[in-house]
Every structure is written in C-alpha cells, then in structure tokens.
Structure 1
Amino acid sequence: MPQSKNMARLSEDMKRELIAIIGGMKDPRVQGFLTVMRVEVAPDLSTAKVHVSKMGEENATAEAVGALNRAAGHVRSEIAKRMHIRKAPEFRFVADDGAKYAAHINELIAGLEREER
C-alpha cells in the first residue's frame, strides 16, 4: 500500500531524528558506520520498522540491531520529546544488507570495466 504524502514526510522526519539519537548513543556496538536505511511507519503510528546497516565485520549489523532493540524504549521516548508527538511508535530495528549489496554491484561494474580495456 503506497504511503500518503504526510506519512512519507513523517517517516523522513523520524529517520532524521533517529540518526541524531543513534549518533549520540555511547554503546560501542552502535557507534561507527551505522546507517539508517529507511523507516516504515504504520498508518496508526503503533509501530515503526527501522532498517539499519553497519559496515565492517559480518556480525556487526546483528550486534547493532540487538543493542538498538534493547534501547528501543529510550529511542521511543527521545523521539516523542524531539518531535513533540503524543503517541510515539514502538520501534523494531531490522538488519538491512542494502549497503553491502550496493558495494557488491559496484565491484561487479568495476570488474566489467576492467575486462573491457
């Protein structure tokens, strides 16, 4: 189901705030090259699925997702304060391999370019 213009704007605003909140966290599993890929907010604002990716070791993303899911209550309260909303969604953080896939595609393209020469 396509999102309305307001829900898309809310998702982008929430993504921007999530990046700021996660960047300020002191947990070493969350620090580093952690990227919030996208945020999918339910139409009734009950849940929000946050797709995150972390460059580095293979299990780095899984560790970061676990740490973020443990801190979901803190993130929820911070979002409510920063965005001045009465009902903040329950966050579920999910690993996303979009950055790894993009790097793989870039390597394939670079390999093809080398073969053409």
Structure 2
Amino acid sequence: MAKIRTGRVGEQIKKELSLLIQTELKDPRVGFITVTGVDVTNDLSQAKIYLSVLGDEEQKDNSLKALAKANGFLRSELGKRIRLRHVPELIFKIDESIAYGSRIEKLLSDIGTDESK
C-alpha cells in the first residue's frame, strides 16, 4: 500500500518539477533539463530527483548548483501545487543512464559495421 502511494507522489513531483523548472525558474545557469525520475522514500521525507542535462560537464555542474540554490523555492512551490503535509527534501542527481545507453548503442553499432566488412 505504501509503495503505491510513494509511486504516485513521485510521479506527481516529477510532473510538477518539470513544469516548475521550465516555466518558473529564471536562473540563467539552468540549461535544458529533463526530469527523468523521482525516487521517494517510504516516509516521504526525501525525494531523489534524477535529471538529464543537455551539454557538457560544466553545464551539468552549473545546472546542479542553480537547482541547489533554488531548492527552497522549488519546495515551497511544490507545497502549493501538491497537497502534502510535509514536502520532501529534494536531492538532485545527474542521471547518467541516457548517456550510458547511447554509448552502448554506439559500441553495438560499431561492432555491427566491423562484422559487415
């Protein structure tokens, strides 16, 4: 039962955070960010937000710093949009799975072109 609720809360946080980052956040350090996933603890005290950032490592670092700076604003806006007694603490992490998947796909395509020769 608790896993169903944390899943629903996580999806709602993902949806609202995506909208907030794209529309409300005015920090120029924030690049093109996609919220790829949200893991919420069972007691809803913490939420790990996984982000995919378009750009190099410097762009990723700048985006993470800007989001850490705007953490209070994002939590307060989430509290207004999602009716929760306590808004979870937001922990932002870079999601490397997309880059890892594209690297694997590139390696597999390279193997395929080598075998066709």
TM-score by length of 1: 0.87
Name whichever structure is richer in helix by fraction: 2
RMSD over equivalenced CA pairs, Å: 1.5
Structure 2: give runs of 5+ residues left out of the alignment: none
Structure 1: give runs of 5+ residues left out of the alignment: none
- Output the amino acid matched with 1:74: F
TM-score by length of 2: 0.87
Q: CA deviation at 1:14?
A: 0.9
Aligned to 1:112: 111
Q: Are 1:84 and 2:83 an aligned pair? A: yes
Query: Aligned partners of 2:108 and 2:29: how far apart in 1?
Result: 32
Q: Are 1:27 and 2:27 an aligned pair? A: yes
Q: CA deviation at 1:87?
A: 1.4
Aligned to 1:75: 74
- Superposition pairs of residues 1-117 of structure 1, within 5 angstroms: 4-24=3-23, 25-32=25-32, 34-117=33-116
Q: Contact 1:30–1:68 at 8 Å: present in 2 too? A: yes
Q: How many residue pairs align between the two structures?
A: 114
Q: CA deviation at 1:77?
A: 0.7
- Output the amino acid matched with 1:21: L
Structure 1 residue runs of 4 or more that deviate by more than 2 Å after TM superposition? none
Q: Contact 2:31–2:54 at 8 Å: present in 1 too? A: no
- Output the amino acid matched with 1:30: V
Query: Aligned partners of 2:14 and 2:85: how far apart in 1?
Result: 18
Q: Contact 1:47–1:92 at 8 Å: present in 2 too? A: yes
Query: Aligned partners of 2:69 and 2:14: how far apart in 1?
Result: 19
Percent identity, aligned pairs only, is 36
Q: Contact 2:31–2:53 at 8 Å: present in 1 too? A: no
